[in-house]
């Protein structure tokens, strides 16, 4: 909880949701050079260290709740006196992948911003993209693979390698499964924290839905309200009333 | 509620009333379209459904109209395995099945109050106990012309339960009943998981033996048998009328375990009112809709709490002597401390037809402590600690099969590995389904835990136990053979 809180505050330093530099607004059409130039400008005006730190804290805030089960696998699979080291290796692998993904994601965000013309159109497009992605079998395939467990060695460097590899693989599939949602908070200016929190809940709900066969389906975010209704029915029913789906 | 669930072998030989009406009801359910919530196929798909597999087996065809997507999302593909939800989910499933059969019997002109019988295969006082009840083996109903639906299913395995050396499955027994805790990585009921166990799930001891073994022993599996029967896979198990009698006995073993003195029943909210990520659902008895339930509904006082005529025969639970005290159910912290990993092998195993040996190394200090604790003069508290061999994430494409593990078996005994070195054996019921990446179970396969406390103690006594090099030999037989082998992520040693 502490980590998540600190992350929320620090991530608001990531100013991509503010209006992008004028160079973007000027370019009528999307071109690779415009994206590159804008990205360069953005990175130049925001120190890399700060940018990376802000991105990382945002990730830690949003992703940590998703890692409970994989972390417990790492924990339970390691010798008692190596558990901290093993968890650290796993987290390095996991967030390492996300850290490197920051740049391509930033480029996608800027491209989207250029295409859309203004921040609110970019936000709408990102949300739509995320909804379509959530409904797609591709997302389901990535999500399924983000549940896969692999061996964790017990001794020496082999154990560290296994933890790193498990973290990195999981991070990769998490990224593949949730990348459009990660764009959304970047286009929200005033309620950035709320947007991040909302996206974190959506990602949690997607993971909790669990694995399943590949097909187009109703996006989880739209079924969250029904889930809540079902939950209340269960609670009410266990205290006497009869339940329906 | 009228009547109680009874022992199938005590209902009378051959076509007794209970089985004759069951057969008639099954015929009726089979005639209903799969979209009907009280149809035979809808009820089986609630366990697990695979469209292509069902088409391949001729259960449905390409044009068969399936229920609505929302019906399938809520009610199909629910089976809970390798999870502490295994017993309560199946209990609700059985109860509603029983009600639907009973209602159908009434509609066919029979008496009300039909109860699901149980197949009491481990009742040592009954010489017939291990035989499949006769009515499930007869080709025709008493009229001599109507095909018997209780027999008319693919079963390739045994008609009398016993060990199956060709699949490396040992004989079934009641050792699971000795587990003191309902929940845990080593437990009676399975490990704590979410719905369908997508992540970390470990089979409870009861789910392994006798449950999984009976599934595969009767269903049969390649290469020992000419095919994999309906009972051997999650997707088809519910289509065999015997499935329900088998699970009724598993359910009764749970009920019997509950009256054992000193057992620790699960009482957490996640179990009682969960799962939080998807609710259990059954059709209403008249098929007019669906209805949710939780584990709470399957306990005493709940709508799905069953009533058995006897909880002692074939359960290993002693009857309370006249005038004695009834057992008090304890709902507290687990009896056993969660065992910790102290050793593991060096790499992932690929297992075809040939046995594979892997070396497990125990961390030096833990190994030393373990040997000392087993030697003479060890403190009482340490000598009682249990040791386990864990086979993690067994994955494979074949629907079932079997596997057996040995510890420190003497070299040169490959052809005929001596039974005294066996760590444990398991039927791989649902292997293919549990290993499918794009399926409900998350593709993490089956994880097994064998109690090797006695074996390890014997090996230490013999001077045949080097903690830095424990030789684990694993043999397996399954449909994939060497061309489509089984993999095991890790073999580890755990200690309390
Ligand atoms: Cu079963």
* Each residue's pLDDT tens digit, A116-139: 878 788 888 888 998 999 889 999
Residue boundaries of the structural domains of chain A:
2-214, 221-245
The whole domain housing B67 covers: 8-157+172-332
Could you write out the DSSP letters of every residue in B162-181?
--BGGGTBPPP-SGGGG--B
More confident residue, B131 or A106: B131
Q: pLDDT over 70 for what percent of chain B? A: 94
**Do A151 and B348 lie within an 8 Å CB cutoff?**
yes
Which residues, 6 or more positions from A31, have their beta carbon under 8 angstroms from its beta carbon? none
Phi, psi of B477, rounded to the nearest 5 degrees = -135, 130
Average pLDDT over residues A156-184: 92
Task: List C-alpha distances in Å: B137 to B109, B153, B492.
Answer: 25, 10, 43
**Do A245 and B340 lie within an 8 Å CB cutoff?**
no
Degrees to nearest 5, angle at CA A134 with A129 and A140: 135
Shared domain for B274 and B381, answered yes or no, is no
Q: pLDDT over 90 for what percent of chain A? A: 25
d(CA B183, CA B272): 12
Q: pLDDT over 70 for what percent of chain A? A: 71
What is the distance in A from the centroid of ligand 1 to the CA of B81? 8
Shared domain for B129 and B192, answered yes or no, is yes
pLDDT at B265: 94
C-alpha closest to that of B53 among B250, B265, B230:
B230
d(CA A169, CA B213): 35
pLDDT at position B347 over 80 = yes
* Each residue's pLDDT tens digit, B257-277: 999 988 999 999 999 997 877
Confidence tier at A236 by pLDDT (50, 70, 90): very low
d(CA B343, CA B361): 5
Last residue of a domain, one of B288, B308, B332: B332
pLDDT at B472: 96
pLDDT at A6: 36
Last residue of a domain, one of B310, B332, B354: B332
Confidence tier at B324 by pLDDT (50, 70, 90): low
Instruction: Among B290, B363, B441, select the one facing A245 at the smallest CB separation.
Output: B290
* Each residue's pLDDT tens digit, B378-425: 666 666 789 999 999 999 998 899 999 999 998 876 677 888 999 999
B165 occurs within a structural domain = no
- Mean predicted lDDT score pLDDT of chain A: 75
d(CA A214, CA A138): 8
What is the distance in A from the centroid of ligand 1 to the CA of B347? 31
pLDDT at B135: 96
Instruction: Check: CB of residue B375 under 8 Å from CB of residue B367.
Output: no
Q: What token pair was written down for A40?
A: 């360069």
Which of A66, A211, A237, A242 best tests the B interface by mutation, with the highest count of B CBs <10 A? A211
Radius of gyration of chain B (CA): 23
pLDDT at A237: 38
pLDDT at position B313 over 90 = yes
What are the residues of chain A with a beta carbon less than 8 Å away from any beta carbon of chain B?
69-70, 72-73, 76-80, 140-141, 144-145, 147-155, 158, 208-214, 230-231, 233-235, 237-238, 242-245
pLDDT at B56: 95
pLDDT at B379: 67
pLDDT at A124: 87
**Do B437 and A148 lie within an 8 Å CB cutoff?**
yes
Q: What token pair was written down for B332?
A: 């507290």
Instruction: Check: CB of residue B346 under 8 Å from CB of residue A153.
Output: yes
CA pseudo-torsion sign B22, B27, B28, B32: positive
What is the distance in A from the centroid of ligand 1 to the CA of B215? 7
Instruction: Check: CB of residue B385 under 8 Å from CB of residue B495.
Output: yes
CATH number assigned to the domain comprising residue B81: 1.10.1280.10
pLDDT at position B153 over 50 = yes
CA of B224 to nearest chain A CA: how many angstroms apart?
30
d(CA B27, CA B191): 38
CA pseudo-torsion sign A116, A118, A120, A126: positive
In this prediction the pTM is 0.87
**Do A209 and B277 lie within an 8 Å CB cutoff?**
yes
**Do A77 and B341 lie within an 8 Å CB cutoff?**
yes
**Do A243 and B437 lie within an 8 Å CB cutoff?**
no
Which of B45, B54, B69, B200 best tests the A interface by mutation, with the highest count of A CBs <10 A? B200
pLDDT at A225: 55
* Most confident option among A186-190, B319-323, B487-491: B487-491
pLDDT at A31: 63
* Closest A-chain CA to B74: A245
- Mean predicted lDDT score pLDDT of chain B: 91
Measured in residues, chain B has a length of 496
* Each residue's pLDDT tens digit, B205-249: 999 999 999 999 999 999 989 989 999 999 999 999 999 999 999
B167 occurs within a structural domain = no
* Closest B-chain CA to A215: B438
Instruction: Check: CB of residue B82 under 8 Å from CB of residue B197.
Output: yes
More confident residue, A110 or B121: B121
- Report H helices in B203-353: 205-206, 213-219, 241-258, 269-272
Phi, psi of B427, rounded to the nearest 5 degrees = -85, 135
Which residues, 6 or more positions from B129, have their beta carbon under 8 angstroms from its beta carbon? B9, B120, B121, B122, B123, B314
Confidence tier at A5 by pLDDT (50, 70, 90): very low
Which of B49, B274, B292, B441 best tests the A interface by mutation, with the highest count of A CBs <10 A? B292
Assembly ipTM = 0.85
B1 occurs within a structural domain = no
Looking at B338-421, which runs of residues are DSSP E strands?
340-345, 349-351, 356-362, 387-395, 401-407
**Do A77 and B296 lie within an 8 Å CB cutoff?**
no
pLDDT at position B490 over 90 = yes
Q: What token pair was written down for A195?
A: 């947007």
pLDDT at A222: 76
Average pLDDT over residues A50-74: 81
Shared domain for B47 and B177, answered yes or no, is yes
Task: List C-alpha distances in Å: B194 to B203, B260, B270, B441, B447.
Answer: 14, 27, 9, 11, 16
**Do A211 and B198 lie within an 8 Å CB cutoff?**
yes
**Do B278 and A210 lie within an 8 Å CB cutoff?**
yes
The reply to whether omega before B210 is within 30° of 0 (cis) is yes
SS (H, E, C) chain A: CHHHHHHHHHHCCCHHHCCCCHHHHHCCCCCHHHHHHHHHHHHHHCCHHHHHHHHHHHHHHHHHHHHHHHHHHHHHHCCHHHHHHHHHHHHHHHHHHHHHHHHHHHHHHHHHHHHHCCHHHHHHHHHHHHHHHHHCHHHHHHHHHCCCCCCCCCCHHHHHHHHHHHHHHHHHHHHHHHHHHHHHHHHCCCCHHHHHHHHHHHHHHHHHHCCCCCCCCCCHHHHHHHHHHHHHHHHHHHCCCCCCC
Average pLDDT over residues B458-482: 91
CA of A196 to nearest chain B CA: how many angstroms apart?
22
**Do A149 and B393 lie within an 8 Å CB cutoff?**
yes
Counting one residue from chain A and one from chain B, the pairs whose CB atoms sit within 8 A come to 121
The reply to whether omega before B223 is within 30° of 0 (cis) is yes
pLDDT at position A29 over 60 = no
Confidence tier at A173 by pLDDT (50, 70, 90): very high
Radius of gyration of chain A (CA): 20
The three-state secondary structure class of B371 is helix
d(CA A170, CA B368): 36
Shared domain for B311 and B376, answered yes or no, is no
Residues of chain A contacting B438 with CB distance shorter than 8 Å? 140-141, 144, 211-214
Instruction: Please count the structural domains in chain B.
Output: 2
**Do A234 and B294 lie within an 8 Å CB cutoff?**
yes
Shared domain for B318 and B364, answered yes or no, is no
Instruction: Among B198, B292, B343, select the one facing A237 at the smallest CB separation.
Output: B292
pLDDT at position B487 over 90 = yes
The three-state secondary structure class of B419 is helix
Residues of chain B contacting A214 with CB distance shorter than 8 Å? 438
B164 occurs within a structural domain = no
Instruction: Check: CB of residue B172 under 8 Å from CB of residue B161.
Output: yes
Last residue of a domain, one of B332, B359, B389: B332
d(CA A209, CA A80): 32
pLDDT at A66: 80
pLDDT at A57: 80
Instruction: Check: CB of residue B133 under 8 Å from CB of residue B19.
Output: yes
- Give Cα B248 distance to the centre of its chain: 12
* Each residue's pLDDT tens digit, B168-200: 999 999 999 999 999 988 899 998 887 766 567
**Do B291 and A149 lie within an 8 Å CB cutoff?**
no
Shared domain for B377 and B483, answered yes or no, is yes
d(CA B121, CA B127): 10
């Amino acid at each position: 909880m502490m980590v998540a809180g600190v992350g929320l505050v620090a991530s608001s330093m990531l100013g991509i949701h503010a209006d992008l530099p004028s160079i973007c607004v000027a370019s009528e059409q999307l071109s690779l050079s415009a994206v590159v130039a804008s990205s360069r400008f953005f990175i130049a005006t925001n120190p890399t260290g700060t940018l990376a730190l802000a991105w990382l804290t945002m990730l830690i805030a949003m992703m940590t709740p998703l890692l409970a089960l994989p972390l417990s696998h790492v924990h339970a699979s390691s010798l008692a006196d190596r558990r901290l080291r093993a968890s650290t290796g796993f987290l390095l692998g996991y967030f390492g992948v996300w850290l490197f993904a920051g740049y391509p994601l930033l480029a996608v965000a800027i491209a989207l911003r250029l295409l859309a013309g203004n921040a609110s159109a970019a936000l709408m497009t990102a949300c739509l993209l995320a909804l379509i992605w959530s409904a797609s079998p591709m997302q389901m395939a990535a999500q399924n693979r983000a549940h896969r467990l692999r061996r964790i060695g017990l001794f020496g460097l082999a154990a560290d390698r296994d933890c790193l590899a498990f973290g990195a693989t999981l991070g990769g599939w998490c990224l593949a499964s949730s990348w459009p949602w990660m764009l959304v908070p970047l286009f929200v200016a005033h309620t950035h924290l709320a947007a991040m929190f909302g996206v974190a809940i959506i990602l949690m709900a997607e993971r909790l839905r669990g694995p399943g066969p590949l097909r187009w389906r109703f996006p989880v975010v739209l079924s969250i309200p029904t889930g809540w209704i079902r939950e209340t029915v269960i609670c009410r029913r266990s205290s006497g009333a009869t339940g329906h789906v | 509620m009228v009547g109680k669930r009874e022992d199938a072998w005590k209902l009378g030989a051959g076509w007794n009333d209970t089985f004759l009406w069951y057969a008639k009801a099954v015929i009726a359910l089979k005639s209903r379209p799969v979209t009907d919530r009280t149809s035979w196929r809808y009820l089986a798909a609630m366990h697990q459904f695979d469209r292509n597999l069902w088409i391949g087996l001729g259960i449905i065809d390409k044009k068969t109209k399936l229920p609505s997507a929302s019906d399938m999302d809520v009610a199909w593909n629910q089976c809970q395995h390798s999870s502490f939800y295994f017993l309560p989910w199946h209990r609700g499933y059985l109860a509603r099945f029983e009600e639907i059969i009973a209602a159908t019997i009434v509609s066919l002109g029979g008496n009300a109050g039909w109860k699901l019988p149980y197949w009491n295969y481990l009742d040592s006082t009954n010489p017939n106990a291990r035989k499949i009840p006769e009515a499930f083996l007869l080709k025709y109903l008493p009229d001599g012309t109507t095909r018997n639906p209780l027999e008319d299913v693919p079963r390739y395995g045994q008609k009398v339960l016993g060990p199956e050396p060709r699949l490396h499955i040992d004989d079934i027994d009641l050792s699971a009943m000795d587990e003191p805790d309902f929940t845990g990585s080593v437990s009676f009921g399975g490990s704590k998981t979410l719905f369908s166990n997508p992540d970390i799930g470990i089979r409870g001891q009861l789910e392994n033996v006798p449950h999984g073994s009976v599934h595969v022993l009767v269903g049969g599996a390649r290469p020992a048998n000419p095919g994999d029967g309906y009972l051997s896979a999650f997707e088809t198990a519910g289509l065999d009328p015997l499935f329900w009698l088998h699970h009724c006995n598993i359910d009764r073993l749970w009920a019997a375990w509950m009256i054992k003195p000193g057992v620790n029943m699960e009482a957490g909210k996640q179990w009682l009112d969960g799962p939080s990520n998807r609710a259990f659902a059954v059709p209403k008895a008249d098929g007019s809709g669906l209805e949710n339930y939780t584990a709470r509904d399957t306990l005493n006082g709940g709508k799905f709490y069953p009533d058995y005529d006897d909880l002692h025969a074939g359960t290993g639970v002693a009857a309370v002597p006249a005038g004695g005290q009834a057992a008090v159910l304890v709902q507290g912290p687990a009896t056993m401390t969660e065992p910790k990993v102290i050793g593991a092998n060096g790499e992932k195993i690929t297992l075809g037809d040939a046995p594979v040996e892997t070396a497990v190394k125990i961390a030096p200090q833990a190994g030393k402590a373990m040997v000392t604790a087993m030697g003479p003069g060890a403190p009482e508290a340490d000598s009682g600690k249990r040791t386990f061999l864990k086979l993690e994430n067994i994955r494979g494409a074949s629907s079932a099969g079997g596997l057996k593990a040995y510890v420190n078996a003497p070299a040169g005994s490959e052809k005929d590995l001596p039974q005294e070195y066996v760590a444990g054996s398991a039927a791989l019921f649902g292997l293919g389904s549990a290993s499918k990446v794009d399926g409900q179970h998350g593709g993490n396969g089956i994880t097994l835990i064998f109690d090797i406390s006695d074996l390890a103690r014997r090996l230490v006594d013999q001077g045949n136990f080097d903690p830095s090099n424990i030789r684990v030999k694993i043999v397996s037989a399954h449909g994939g053979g060497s061309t489509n082998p089984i993999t095991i992520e890790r073999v580890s040693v755990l200690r309390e």
